[in-house]
Amino acid sequence: MKITCERAQLQEAFQIINPIIPTRSTIPILQNIKIIAEKQTIFLIGTDLEIGLRYEIPAEVKETGTIILPTQRLGAILRESTDEKINIESDGHIARIKTKIGYFKILGADPVDYPDFPEFDTKKAFEIEASGLKEMIRKTIFATSGEITRYALTGVLLEITKKELRMVGSDGKRLAFIKKKSEQNVPQNIKVIAPPKGLILLERIIQDKDKKILITLEETQLKIQVPAGGSRKHPIFLFSGLIEGNFPDYANVIPSDSDKKVEIPTAEFAAAIRQAALVTTDKFKATKMILEKNTLTFFSRTQDVGEAQVKMKVSYDQKPFEIVFNPDFLIDVLRVIDEPKFTLEFKDKTSPIVLKIGRNYVYLIMPLTVDV
Amino acid sequence: MLFKNVLGQEPAARIFENILKHGRLAHAYLFAGPMGVGKFRFARELAKILLCAEQKAGSDLRPACDRCPSCRQADREQHPNLRITRLAPDEKSIKINDIRRIEREIIMKPIQGKRKIFIINDAESIVEEGFNALLKTLEEPPGYSLLILVTNRPDAILPTVFSRCQLIRFSPLGDRVLRSFFHKELKLNQPEAEVLAHLAQGSIGWGCYLQEHDFIRQRACLLERLGDPGGASRSGLAEEIIAYAQRHKKSLEGNRQRVIQQFKVLALFFYDVLLGHYGLDQYVVNQDQKKLLRKIQTASSPGDITRILEVLMAGEKALKLNANYKLVVENAVCQMNFN
């Protein structure tokens, strides 16, 4: 392999791939980056086997080839150098890197040991609007569970039908559901659980300029291609493994018989609940919401800390009502809501609080049975 | 022969040949047996067979091809669907975080191939919380997963984990297997390989361990001292035994075990002398020491030898009961007289 490429581009690629590559692994070869040189392009590949990413950059390729190099060292060389161009030559598993003032000989690993990287099949792929997907990820992923004992809940449920995309995140105490109209050519409805890692990475990669992204779904993995466009000259390809397991039937959980409804202005509500949560502690996270005629009151009280009472005006003229819940669950969702208004729906003290934005976003919180 | 790369262990190999033939692989196994008899190797070979790229769907499994990328990755423990956890050299236990990592990895569907195999070597050193965390995984494992716990102390496995695994017992290896292994791999000559096979207690690992600690050379020294004429050599023998024990006192088993090993070498030798007395030369292990055997045989009576063997056994027993090893050695050597 013999290549010359722009250092800035290589470093940019590095910054995207680096977070994926594990610093410690039971399979040491994964701590490396794989570089493949083909005509006029080099491919940079990194994976931790859960997710993987392939990044392309243009390069002057004098000799094609493949090399596996330790990520940390190569990254450090790129960081320290100020050159415009950088030269990499390989000889077996050894790379020789030339900069203006430096010459490095870095020992690599045998490419045979590196796990196969999947290929993206554009023919099987369907298109999804990039900004819509980004929003869907952002609005569901925060609700997933960090506990591995309920492993299906550590991921986001992805449902794809011919006319709709749906995503659901839940940790058992709350649930976020979003759907979007989107036509795609899928032979049948698809239902998979994707781990958050890959989705977070995708959310980060998608830029405002991106219009469409391509997706293929297989039994064991989700493959995504962010096509070239805007300032991006080459497509990025990433894959994510899928979680085995059954996602709980979320449709049954979303209540349809909530009889109390109130419309809420987002910014004011967010400020109020954050204030009410001030006196809660990690050990005792509970806030009471009291709805009376045209007033909404938050009340928190924690032993040894104190009390907080925050009022705001709302238009409400149904029966007075109160419910206790974990304020963090509402604060979390308010961070991802961009809309100026949403509605809250209730049935009784033991039924979930339902937050709705139009017909497409539903967020549920299970109430607490303690009193404050 | 499905398990062509595994030495001995025919019963386990037969069990798995049957299991695989009928497609009845369980989700979790416990490989239990003495140290160094090839349990881990067997587990890795099983993984290799299951992951080998040359296997054809629908037909019976074939031995691992050893050539395909999958086999090579498995041999180097770099295979993406083979995750091996073992006790780190400077650790005393397998930590809860290691088990959590396995739990996280096991729920991700395999990326290449159809199976994901997890081997936990030294499973006896998993911390209790680790075992408890494993329970959940063992109860409802994903269909593609196979978990193999490997241990030489099945009694140290949490009973609830134990009962959720299928137990496969591994027995000590036969002398023939050991002999040929020591001869071929450790480049020992036949009689030396034979002696090491006798002392290795059916374990290649133990045999190699002894060899790493210069054991065969030590045997030569001991027998040379034994052959020295005159009373002076006897104190030399005792010094030799103690010096070796002290040289290797930091090894796995400590001073006493080192002495016991040397007593066993001597006992094996005297046993050969006894065989000579009864004309059973064909059973003699120390074939390379014929001259010395004959010399001691002519100088002693069968009664003498029996008494010496008893002394050595009593010494071994005393050492196991924490007696002062120097005193035991000197006492034993003093009683090793025969005329």
For chain A, the structural domain boundaries read: 2-113, 125-250, 254-365
Chain-centre distance of CA A67, in angstroms? 30
Contact residues of B toward A, CB < 8 A: 69, 72-73, 76-80, 83-85, 100-101, 103-105, 107-112, 136, 142-144
In this prediction, residue A338 carries a pLDDT of 92
* pLDDT mean across residues, chain B: 86
Question: What ranges do the domains of chain B cover?
Answer: 10-169, 213-334
Cα(B144)–Cα(B132) distance, integer angstroms: 22
Cα-only R_g, chain A = 25
Cα(B260)–Cα(A306) distance, integer angstroms: 71
The string of pLDDT tens digits covering residues B179-229 is 888 888 888 888 888 888 887 878 888 888 888 877 778 888 888 887 776
The string of pLDDT tens digits covering residues B305-329 is 899 899 999 998 898 888 888 888 8
Q: Do B201 and B179 form a contact (C-beta atoms < 8 A)? A: no
In this prediction, residue A314 carries a pLDDT of 93
Q: Which residue in the set B72, B84, B111 is minimally distant from A49, CB to CB?
A: B111
In this prediction, residue A211 carries a pLDDT of 86
Exposure string for A177-202, b = 16+ CB within 10 A, e = fewer: bbbbebebeeeeebebbbbbbbbebb
Q: Which residue in the set B104, B111, B112 is minimally distant from A148, CB to CB?
A: B104
Structural element, H or E, at residue B168: strand B166-169
Structure tokens at A177: 């559901």
Contact A243 B85 (CB under 8 A): no
In this prediction, residue B253 carries a pLDDT of 59
Distant-in-sequence, close-in-space partners of B316: CB < 8 Å, separation ≥ 6: B260, B263, B264
In this prediction, residue A274 carries a pLDDT of 94
Give contacts of B107 with chain A, Cβ < 8 Å.
148, 151, 154, 243-245
Selection from A335, A326, A333 nearest residue A363 by Cα: A333
In this prediction, residue A156 carries a pLDDT of 96
Q: Which of B109, B137, B145 to mutate to test the interface with A (most CBs of A within 10 A)?
A: B109
DSSP state, B89?
T
What confidence category does residue B252 fall into, taking pLDDT thresholds of 50, 70 and 90? low
Cα(B156)–Cα(B169) distance, integer angstroms: 15
Select from 3.30.70.2860, 3.10.150.10, 3.30.450.20, 3.40.630.30 the CATH code of A254-365.
3.10.150.10
Is the fold of B10-169 the same as that of B213-334? no
Cα(B209)–Cα(A115) distance, integer angstroms: 34
Q: Which residue of B has its CA nearest to A194?
A: B108
In this prediction, residue A268 carries a pLDDT of 94
Cα(B275)–Cα(B294) distance, integer angstroms: 11
**Class of domain B10-169 (CATH, top level):** alpha beta
Chain-centre distance of CA A8, in angstroms? 26
CATH fold, domain A125-250, is DNA Polymerase III; Chain A, domain 2 (3.10.150)
Please tell me the distance in Å from A240's CA to the nearest CA on chain B: 9
Contact residues of A toward B, CB < 8 A: 26-29, 49-50, 112-113, 115-116, 118, 148-149, 151, 154, 195, 219-221, 241-245
Please tell me the distance in Å from A115's CA to the nearest CA on chain B: 6
Residue A119 phi/psi, 5-degree rounding, is -105, 150
**Which segments of chain B does DSSP mark as H helices, in order?**
10-21, 39-51, 69-75, 96-106, 128-139, 159-162, 175-185, 190-199, 204-212, 215-227, 232-247, 254-277, 290-299, 302-320, 325-334
A182-186 long-range contacts (CB < 8 A, ≥24 apart) are A182/A128, A182/A129, A182/A132, A184/A126, A184/A127, A184/A128, A184/A160, A185/A126, A186/A126, A186/A160, A186/A161, A186/A162
Give contacts of B138 with chain A, Cβ < 8 Å.
none
Kindly state the average pLDDT of the residues B19-48.
Answer: 92
Q: How far is CA B116 from CA A46, B15, B111, in A?
A: 21, 21, 9
Selection from A250, A244, A241, A199 nearest residue A221 by Cα: A241
CATH fold, domain B213-334, is Zinc Finger, Delta Prime; domain 3 (1.20.272)
pLDDT at B301 over 90: no
Contact A243 B77 (CB under 8 A): no
Query: Is beta strand A174-181 parallel, antiparallel or unpaired with respect to A164-170?
Result: antiparallel
The neighbouring-strand residues paired with A238 are A53, A224
Q: Which amino acid is at B131?
A: F
SS3 of chain A: the string is: CEEEEEHHHHHHHHHHHCCCCCCCCCCHHHHEEEEEEECCEEEEEEECCCEEEEEEEECEEEECEEEEEEHHHHHHHHHHCCCCEEEEEEECCEEEEECCCCEEEEECECHHHCCCCCCCCHHHCEEEEHHHHHHHHHHHHCCCCCCCCCHHHHCEEEEECCCEEEEEEECCCEEEEEEEECCCCCCCCEEEEECHHHHHHHHHHCCCCCCEEEEEECCCEEEEEECCECCECCCEEEEEECECCCCCCHHHHCCCCCCEEEEEEHHHHHHHHHHHHHHCCCCCCCEEEEEECCEEEEEEEECCCEEEEEEEECCCCCCCEEEEECHHHHHHHHHHCCCCEEEEEECCCCCCEEEEECCCEEEEECCCCCCC
CATH fold, domain A2-113, is DNA Polymerase III; Chain A, domain 2 (3.10.150)
In this prediction, residue A278 carries a pLDDT of 92
Q: Which of A156, A244, A246, A247 to mutate to test the interface with B (most CBs of B within 10 A)?
A: A244
In this prediction, residue B234 carries a pLDDT of 67
Give contacts of A24 with chain B, Cβ < 8 Å.
none
Q: Do A87 and A61 form a contact (C-beta atoms < 8 A)? A: no
Give contacts of B77 with chain A, Cβ < 8 Å.
27
Please tell me the distance in Å from A128's CA to the nearest CA on chain B: 24
pLDDT at B76 over 90: no
Contact A112 B72 (CB under 8 A): yes
Q: Which residue in the set A26, A118, A151 is minimally distant from B84, CB to CB?
A: A26
Cα(B147)–Cα(B124) distance, integer angstroms: 15
Q: Which residue in the set A27, A49, A151 is minimally distant from B107, CB to CB?
A: A151
In this prediction, residue B231 carries a pLDDT of 52
Q: Given the structure tokens 């297997």, which residue do they identify?
A: B177
In this prediction, residue B233 carries a pLDDT of 58
Q: Which residue of A has its CA nearest to B138?
A: A149
Q: How far is CA A247 from CA A180, A206, A314, A333, in A?
A: 20, 27, 36, 21
Contact B111 A29 (CB under 8 A): no
In this prediction, residue A357 carries a pLDDT of 94
Q: Which residue of A has its CA nearest to B113?
A: A220
Selection from A41, A35, A105, A114 nearest residue A73 by Cα: A105
What region does B300 belong to: left with phi over 0, alpha with psi -120 to 50, or beta? beta
pLDDT at B250 over 80: no
Give contacts of B105 with chain A, Cβ < 8 Å.
49-50
Residue spans of chain A under pLDDT 70: none
The string of pLDDT tens digits covering residues B100-118 is 989 888 989 887 778 999 9
Q: Which residue of A has its CA nearest to B114?
A: A220
Q: Which residue in the set A116, A154, A244 is minimally distant from B109, CB to CB?
A: A244
Please tell me the distance in Å from A148's CA to the nearest CA on chain B: 7
Kindly state the average pLDDT of the residues B138-166.
Answer: 93
